[in-house]
Chains A and B, each alone.
Chain A
Amino acid sequence: MRTKYILLVVLQALFLVGMIGMKQAWIARGEKIKLKTVPVDPRDIFRGDYARLNYDISSLDLDSLGCKETFQRNDKVYVAISKGDKDYYEAVSVSSKRPAEGLYVAGKTKYGQRTNSKWEVSVKTEDGTMKTFHPQWFYGMKKDDTVVFCIDRQGNVQNSMKENAEHSQKCYGEEVVTVKGVIEEVVETKYQTMDVQYGIESYFVEEGKGRIIESAPRSSEVLVEISLNKKGKGLITGLYIDGKRY
């Protein structure tokens, strides 16, 4: 029985060693790429033991990717990615079949595809110039309403609020610009979107280091370095905030 006991204990240890070996081989052999991401709740996320990451490629715009397939939930998908002139990779196509060449990430659909809306809002600002914005959602406002947009450093609309007579709206946060104007036109475009999970959505934060990352402004560019194997499965190897590695 003693021999068997030792054997079982050694097997357990070997199993753990195997786990480590497989991951190390993956990191050594995989293709290193960077993906753009946002922590799901940027203000709070690094306080805990891990950050939940929401990548640019986590929700795909099927229409602009020219995808004609229909997807159910939990379908396997392959997202082809390319770098272009940026530092990080972006989705170029999505398919249920494995691409013959090029880099791709393998994932699973979360709910299947859904219809979403995109907005294009034209406003006449206080100084009389016309400006167009693309807020992520835009409800309850129509032509001739006065609207306040909060614009972050990268030019994205963080928030849009209806101005009312009682008190004027204000934007909060560092490096956030307030733009006020009268709505000239609202164009809502419907498109097909799909959420995909890749198994790289958690980043474990080292205690202490988390504090530095936590204080990074909301508008920072967060990139995650992934080691991508031949099957399109990723393993997180690093995190960059505004170009600085953590």
Chain B
Amino acid sequence: MADIDFVRKLKGELKAWISEGIIAPEQEERILSRYRVLEEAEEKAGSSTLITVISVMGSILIGVGVILFIAANWSMIPRAGKLAIIFLSLFATYAAGWYLRYEKKTFPKVGASLILLGTIIYGAGIFLIAQIYNISVHYPNGPLMWGLGVLPLAYLLKFRSILLLSLLDLLLWMGMETSFRLEGHDSFFSFVALYLASGLMFWAVGLTHRKFEPVKGLAGPYVVLGVLSVFVAGYAFTFEVDRWRLGSPGLAVFYAVIAAAFAVSMMAFLLPKNREKGWVAEAAGLSGLMALVCFWIIPGLLVPQGMPDHYSHEESHSIIANLVYAAMIVGIIVLGYIKRYNAYINIGILFFVLDVIARYFDFFWELLPRSIFFIAGGIMLLAGGIFLEKKRRKVLASFRLEELA
């Protein structure tokens, strides 16, 4: 099916074809006239991306509305009535979504949003039932059952939106569940290390998805969430690393599952079929980081009694963390360049800027008078922004040129 993105790309291609003498200018006109209707529709009625965004927002608003309606009319609606609302709206949205997208095919985008709404109502159902029976508000099983319950739908329909919802639920569950097992100030480092490990696992699972045609389209949410977790956690470690508090015996089950999922994904990723450019570098980088996380986690895991009572700030491990983080930034930008992933480059640059800001604060806060500190910092960031933006444009433009060449 031709969409407006295709027409836009086609226009660019046609220019190149004319300049290379493959087609004559009047042929360009004839080719483009086939798609004129599409372009006019786009101009008059708004873009298809806009439709998707609007209908997804609509779904989320309705989902929130259903939850609020039932919550606010708590005593007016009998228990059976509340449950009836949940079940009826669950079936109605799923049925309408299916009808519009797959049966009638008249409004496929709105249909997809309705199915997404169905998965939100399912989650609302879990929490409302928990509320009716006074199950604790800190209810980690809720997000777990929500995430696992909608995951099969994401795979059946190949919906990235539902997959993203499911993975976010699972990450949320992990945070809630571990905060039950960890308490006090000790927990921070174990928490960050766990998210770093699970980020690496998601990343690896995403890469493996890309190798297999049927699930290739679902790689995105895994990779993006994975990369973001890894970089946010890595960023936190550039401030301080307490080697004795990175691992916690209470999280042993999580470590085992994450390590197993990572190992299986890595093995599948290394299979000879459908290898992407830069696969060696990416596999080596991910495995190296995972090895470092294991090296950090194990002391706290094996000798919980051996840990010092106070924070043991070991300079050497902070230096390692900072060096590794710098290598991660360079690595992901280079990988983005090799694999032609704009997302990698953008994420790399974002965290590079954050790192510069953090280190600037670390080093100069004490040394410079406040006013000069802020003015100099501002100028540095503005200049850096211009430089990076130029660089980024150049890199992205070179992708397009290479594609044309």
Q: In whole Å, how far is A41's beta carbon from the nearest beta carbon of chain B?
A: 15
In chain B, residues 135-167, which have Cβ atoms closer than 8 Å to a Cβ of chain A? Answer: 135-138, 145, 149-150, 152-153, 156-157
With a cutoff of 8 Å between Cβ atoms, the chain B residues found around residue A15 in the complex are: 145, 149
B134 touches A5 (CB 8 A): no
In chain A, residues 202-219, which have Cβ atoms closer than 8 Å to a Cβ of chain B? Answer: 202-204, 206-209
In chain A, residues 30-70, which have Cβ atoms closer than 8 Å to a Cβ of chain B? Answer: 49-50
B74 touches A23 (CB 8 A): no
Give A202 to B157 CA distance when docked, in angstroms: 38
B181 touches A202 (CB 8 A): no
Give A204 to B131 CA distance when docked, in angstroms: 6
With a cutoff of 8 Å between Cβ atoms, the chain A residues found around residue B145 in the complex are: 15
With a cutoff of 8 Å between Cβ atoms, the chain A residues found around residue B156 in the complex are: 1, 4-5, 8
Known A-B contacts A20-B83, A74-B250; the reply to A209 vs B90 at CB < 8 A is no
Known A-B contacts A201-B136, A204-B134; the reply to A16 vs B181 at CB < 8 A is no
Give A60 to B296 CA distance when docked, in angstroms: 37
Give A49 to B133 CA distance when docked, in angstroms: 14
With a cutoff of 8 Å between Cβ atoms, the chain A residues found around residue B91 in the complex are: 9, 13
Give A1 to B87 CA distance when docked, in angstroms: 22
Number of A-B contacts (CB under 8 A): 81
Which residue of the partner chain B has the closest CB to A207?
B74
Q: Does A111 contact B (CB under 8 A)?
A: yes
Give A110 to B180 CA distance when docked, in angstroms: 9
Give A51 to B383 CA distance when docked, in angstroms: 53
With a cutoff of 8 Å between Cβ atoms, the chain B residues found around residue A199 in the complex are: 135-136
B181 touches A9 (CB 8 A): no
B86 touches A16 (CB 8 A): yes
With a cutoff of 8 Å between Cβ atoms, the chain A residues found around residue B75 in the complex are: 206-209
Q: Does B125 contact A (CB under 8 A)?
A: yes
With a cutoff of 8 Å between Cβ atoms, the chain A residues found around residue B102 in the complex are: 1-2
How many residues of chain A get a CB closer than 8 Å to chain B's CBs? Answer: 32
Q: Does A136 contact B (CB under 8 A)?
A: no
Set A1, A9, A111: member contacting B183, Cβ < 8 A? A111
Q: In whole Å, how far is B235's beta carbon from the nearest beta carbon of chain A?
A: 29
Give A199 to B87 CA distance when docked, in angstroms: 27
Give A170 to B184 CA distance when docked, in angstroms: 38
B122 touches A16 (CB 8 A): yes
Q: Does A236 contact B (CB under 8 A)?
A: yes
Known A-B contacts A8-B153, A13-B87, A200-B134; the reply to A19 vs B71 at CB < 8 A is no
With a cutoff of 8 Å between Cβ atoms, the chain B residues found around residue A110 in the complex are: 183
With a cutoff of 8 Å between Cβ atoms, the chain B residues found around residue A235 in the complex are: 133-135
Give A5 to B119 CA distance when docked, in angstroms: 12
Q: In whole Å, how far is B290's beta carbon from the nearest beta carbon of chain A?
A: 27
A50 touches B157 (CB 8 A): no
Q: In whole Å, how far is B72's beta carbon from the nearest beta carbon of chain A?
A: 6
Q: Does B262 contact A (CB under 8 A)?
A: no
Q: Does A73 contact B (CB under 8 A)?
A: yes
Q: Does A12 contact B (CB under 8 A)?
A: yes
Query: Interface residues of B: mostly helix, strand, loop or mixed?
Result: helix
Which residue of the partner chain A has the closest CB to B136?
A202
Q: Does B206 contact A (CB under 8 A)?
A: no
With a cutoff of 8 Å between Cβ atoms, the chain B residues found around residue A49 in the complex are: 71
Set B72, B118, B135: member contacting A9, Cβ < 8 A? B118
A12 touches B122 (CB 8 A): yes
A12 touches B149 (CB 8 A): yes
Give A118 to B250 CA distance when docked, in angstroms: 33
Give A4 to B98 CA distance when docked, in angstroms: 12
With a cutoff of 8 Å between Cβ atoms, the chain B residues found around residue A111 in the complex are: 183-184
Q: In whole Å, how far is B237's beta carbon from the nearest beta carbon of chain A?
A: 25
Give A4 to B154 CA distance when docked, in angstroms: 12
Q: Does B286 contact A (CB under 8 A)?
A: no
With a cutoff of 8 Å between Cβ atoms, the chain A residues found around residue B87 in the complex are: 13, 16
Q: In whole Å, how far is A203's beta carbon from the nearest beta carbon of chain B?
A: 6
With a cutoff of 8 Å between Cβ atoms, the chain A residues found around residue B73 in the complex are: 207
Q: Does B126 contact A (CB under 8 A)?
A: yes
In chain B, residues 93-131, which have Cβ atoms closer than 8 Å to a Cβ of chain A? Answer: 94, 98, 102, 118, 122, 125-126, 129, 131
Give A209 to B156 CA distance when docked, in angstroms: 45
Set A1, A73, A203, A208: member contacting B134, Cβ < 8 A? A203
B131 touches A19 (CB 8 A): no
With a cutoff of 8 Å between Cβ atoms, the chain A residues found around residue B129 in the complex are: 16, 19-20, 23
With a cutoff of 8 Å between Cβ atoms, the chain B residues found around residue A16 in the complex are: 86-87, 90, 122, 125-126, 129
Give A241 to B94 CA distance when docked, in angstroms: 44
Q: In whole Å, how far is A246's beta carbon from the nearest beta carbon of chain B?
A: 11
With a cutoff of 8 Å between Cβ atoms, the chain B residues found around residue A74 in the complex are: 180-181, 183, 250
Give A66 to B75 CA distance when docked, in angstroms: 44
Q: In whole Å, how far is A23's beta carbon from the nearest beta carbon of chain B?
A: 5
Give A23 to B125 CA distance when docked, in angstroms: 14
With a cutoff of 8 Å between Cβ atoms, the chain A residues found around residue B122 in the complex are: 12, 16
Q: In whole Å, how far is A95's beta carbon from the nearest beta carbon of chain B?
A: 22
With a cutoff of 8 Å between Cβ atoms, the chain B residues found around residue A19 in the complex are: 126, 129
Known A-B contacts A13-B90, A13-B91, A20-B129; the reply to A236 vs B153 at CB < 8 A is no
In chain B, residues 28-85, which have Cβ atoms closer than 8 Å to a Cβ of chain A? Answer: 71-75, 83
Q: Which residues of A contact B (CB under 8 A)?
A: 1-2, 4-5, 8-9, 11-13, 15-16, 19-20, 23, 49-50, 73-74, 110-111, 199-204, 206-209, 235-236
The 3 A-B pairs at the shortest CB distance, nearest first, are namely A236-B134, A206-B75, A206-B74
- Given contacts A20-B83, A74-B250, could you give 10 more A-B pairs where the C-beta distance is less than 8 Å? A1-B156, A5-B157, A8-B156, A9-B91, A9-B118, A13-B90, A16-B87, A111-B184, A235-B135, A236-B134
22 A-B contacts, Cβ less than 8 Å apart?
A: A1-B102, A5-B157, A8-B156, A11-B152, A12-B122, A13-B90, A15-B149, A16-B122, A16-B126, A20-B83, A23-B129, A50-B137, A73-B183, A202-B136, A204-B74, A204-B132, A206-B74, A207-B71, A209-B75, A235-B134, A235-B135, A236-B133
